[in-house]
Amino acid sequence: MAVHLLKGLARVPAQPGAGAAVVAACLALVVLQSRHTRPGADGGPVRAGWTVAELAVAFLAVGPLGVSVGLLCLPAASLLLERRRPLRRLLLPPFVGAAVLAAAVRSASVRDTVDLLLTVALGGVMLYTVTRLALLAAGVHAARLTLAASAVTDERLRIASSLRSELSEGLARIRGLAVRADPSVLDPLIAVARGTLAAARATTAELRSLSLAPEAASARALLASAGVAADIRIGHREPLGPAGTVLATVLRESVTAVVRVGDARRCEVSTGERAGRVVLRVVSDGMPTAALGADLLDDLADRVRAVGGRLTAGLEPDGRFAVEASVAATAAPRAAADPSELRTALGLYYFLLAAFGARVLLFVPATVSGLGLGVACVLAFCAVQVRVSVHGVTRHLRSALLASAVLALVPLPWLGRNWIGAAGILAGSLLVALPLRAGAAAAAVLVVAAGVIGGGAPVSGLSALSALSTTVSVMITCVVVYAVLRLVRLVREFQRAGAGLARAAVVTERLRAARDLHDLLGHGLAAIVLKAELARRLADVAGGGIGDAAGGGSGGDSGGDSGDAAEAAGERCRAELADIVRLAERGQSELGAVAEESPRLSFAAELTSAAAVLEAAAITVELEDVPVPGEAGAVLGVALREAVTNILRHSHARHARIATSVTGDVARLEVENDGVREGVTAPGSGIGGLTVRLAEAGGTLTAGPDDGWYLLRAELPLHCP
């Protein structure tokens, strides 16, 4: 369009009326063409009227005003973009016939007629595809979110299916045994509860194994609680696969060793991929000897070797202690089939090259040497362009681009005016293949050089104005080629990003399910085991007391006291079994909630349950209860479960304190106990998932020894994001 506009302006001095009419027609076509990029109705009489108006203006310019037939590429693109098929089918045949007639009238030979028609077809298809692909690329960008959502849905269904087999069956058996209220079933009930708890923990470990994020969060919290500066850099691609569990163990044990031994002030944790393996490094400055550090990690080496990995530990040249573990990286997923948008973009580029070659060969001398030179140049130039632009070759890139430049410029005086398109194609490739500044500079030099050479070629006889027109034409070809190649790369980037987003979404969903399984079901099953063991002890007391009472007949006060104790123990045993039924039913409900997007807990109910479980374990509980409203209460309920589970599993506490408070817009939960074991510095592996969960809600978690007690403190805004 710019070329036609320049020619119209050039006619103004000699033919003011005709020149102004050409300029007006060109501007009108630009306005009519731009409507395809604006949102609006897909059809209707108004849109049909604009299409007919564009055809009328274009043929008026080409006919009476004498504008080049190439201007018809604009209405050709509009017809291709017309969404109403009946209108397109109605107008396309007369348009093609009129274009052929106009080209035949303007041309002196069949060859010139074919050349003009190729120009119209090429321009129309280019405009259509660039406009259409811009819209399709935006659609691909939006569709990757749908792809991620679909991947999450599929993964959620898979997780739900796996959870509701062994775990659901275990909870049902626990409830079925407990509801009988028969002390004789306590031994099998305990066995089933322990087996179900082990299965829940194994499932949690499997779900967590795809990512090191929970352990990285746990490591950061553990190092912070010990006053060690942490520098954690994650550089591997996830998901990890089953070997991720081993790497998580190495990370946890290595960081624990850093905290327990020596006086480290800084610890660096990094991951990356090297030669098809995921490499984890933990480097600290506080290990006194290599032998001491290696002794702490002896058993880890066997576990890493069991999954085909390697583990080394020792002092670095700078005196720091380093642990390095490597396992095979997860195989890259099979590349998905090219989307239709990518095939369309590539088809356009190949069509451009084919049309360019056909137009060149139309005008080479019809001799063996002329055709041979033309075919050789076309094939060589197109092959290099496909190699550089489509396949993205990086080796010998400069040599390939230099060869393309020679092929684009040197044959120009012999191959005629149509070879000038090679310079535009190459310039567009330079903008894609090189960094933006370097590519723009090289493309500008090439466009100007092509204009000068083409304008001064004896075979063309072009004037200075025509040389400028040639330069503009080359620049337009450059922009169109750049747009097409850029769209090809954008579609590929969106395709990779969509696949990456789907993988990340699946990993996130599995981590969420692991956190919920650990925080919800794990706590309940641990409480069931604890209550079942307590019920068995009570049943022993009740059974012994009853037997003594029956056999003694008249045991006096001693027999009466024994009978009262046995009766009380029996009542407590039945109460514990009733609690087990309640916990099993809640566990079945929570098992279904794990497969949902966001399970909800009642903080008040969790507080009551936590106190009951701790008291069942003979731990005196002090409550300082302030109601916590809304979403904050649901999240702090999860933190309370984790804290109670850690007290039961990792301490020998006799006293515990649970306190909640609300200050301003911040809710706080504190859980502390007096049962800190020697060397314990973290509340367990669940701290990582809990830290992540609180961080996602805008809160913080701290945990560690505090004046002889162990304190876990969680703070959260009342209005969680």
pLDDT one-digit tens code per residue, 512-548? 677 777 766 777 888 888 888 888 888 888 774 433 4
Q: Which domains does the chain have, with CATH numbers?
A: 600-717 (3.30.565.10)
Predicted confidence (pLDDT) at residue 211 exceeds the cutoff of 60:
yes
Quickly state the pLDDT bin for 393 (edges 50, 70, 90). low
pLDDT band at 553 (very low <50, low <70, confident <90, very high): very low
CA distance 329 to 240: 7
Residue 333 vs residues 155, 239, 329, 378, 556: alpha-carbon distances, Å: 16, 11, 12, 38, 79
pLDDT for res 40: 46
pLDDT above 90 covers what percent of the chain?
Answer: 4
Which of 708, 645, 649 has the alpha carbon at shortest distance from 678?
Answer: 708
Integer-rounded Cα radius of gyration of the chain: 39
Average pLDDT over residues 253-279: 85
Return d(Cα 587, Cα 171) in angstroms, integer: 7
Mean pLDDT rounded to a whole number for the chain:
76
Is the pLDDT at 681 greater than 80? The verdict is no
Measured CA to CA, the distance from residue 651 to residue 25 in angstroms comes to 87
Residue 124 phi, psi dihedral angles, 5° rounding: -65, -45
**Whether pLDDT at 84 is above 80:** no
**What CA–CA distances, in Å, run from 139 to 487, 498, 505?**
12, 12, 20
Q: Which two tokens stand for residue 260?
A: 């327990």
456 DSSP β-pair partners: none
* pLDDT exceeds 70 at position 440: yes
Residues of the chain above pLDDT 70, percent? 75
- Joined tokens for residue 622: 């002090």
Confidence of residue 46 (pLDDT cuts 50, 70, 90): very low
Could you give the CA distance from residue 660 to residue 683 in angstroms, rounded to a whole number?
A: 19
User: What are the residues facing 660 on neighbouring strands?
Assistant: 669
Query: What's the pLDDT score for residue 526?
Result: 83
Higher-pLDDT residue of 674, 237: 674
pLDDT at 281: 93
Question: Residue 294 — very low, low, confident or very high, per pLDDT cuts 50/70/90?
Answer: low
**What pLDDT, on the 0 to 100 scale, is given for residue 550?**
36
Kind of pairing between the strands at 266-274 and 321-328: unpaired
**Which pLDDT does position 518 carry in this prediction?**
72
Phi-psi region of 493 (alpha: psi -120 to 50; beta: other; left: phi over 0): alpha
Highest averaged pLDDT of the listed ranges 124-128, 160-164, 599-603, 658-662: 658-662
603 pLDDT more than 90: no
* Closest C-alpha among 202, 298, 226 to residue 682: 226
Structure confidence at residue 269 (pLDDT): 93
Amino acid residing at 331: A
Q: pLDDT: is 615 or 594 the higher one?
A: 615
- Which is more confident, 554 or 616? 616
Least confident of 155-164, 176-185, 677-686, 706-715: 677-686
Q: State the pLDDT confidence band at 41, using cuts at 50, 70 and 90.
A: very low
Contact 699, 717 (CB under 8 A): yes
Q: How confident is the model at residue 43 (pLDDT cuts 50, 70, 90)?
A: very low
Q: What pLDDT is stored for residue 513 in this prediction?
A: 72
Instruction: Over range 376-397, report the average pLDDT.
Output: 79
Tokens of 227: 């006053």
Under the banding of pLDDT at 50, 70 and 90, the label for residue 690 is: confident
What's residue 569's pLDDT?
82
Does pLDDT of 290 surpass 60? Answer: no
Q: Is the pLDDT of residue 200 over 80?
A: yes
Predicted confidence band at 657 (pLDDT cuts at 50, 70, 90)? very high
Higher pLDDT, 258 or 720: 258
Query: Per residue in 611-638, pLDDT tens?
Result: 878 887 788 889 887 788 777 888 888 8
Question: pLDDT (tens digit, 9 = 90+) per residue, 307-357?
Answer: 888 888 888 888 888 889 998 887 655 555 566 667 777 887 888 888 888
pLDDT in tens, 412-429: 777 777 788 888 888 888
- List pLDDT tens digits, range 447-481: 888 777 765 544 444 456 667 777 877 887 888 78
Lowest mean pLDDT among 68-77, 144-153, 441-450, 609-618: 144-153
pLDDT higher than 70, residue 403: yes
SS (H, E, C) 584-647: HHHHHHHHHHHCCCCCCCCHHHHHHHHHHHHHHCCCEEEEECCCCCHHHHHHHHHHHHHHHHHH
In contact, 260 and 679? CB cutoff 8 Å:
yes
Q: Which amino acid is at 441?
A: A
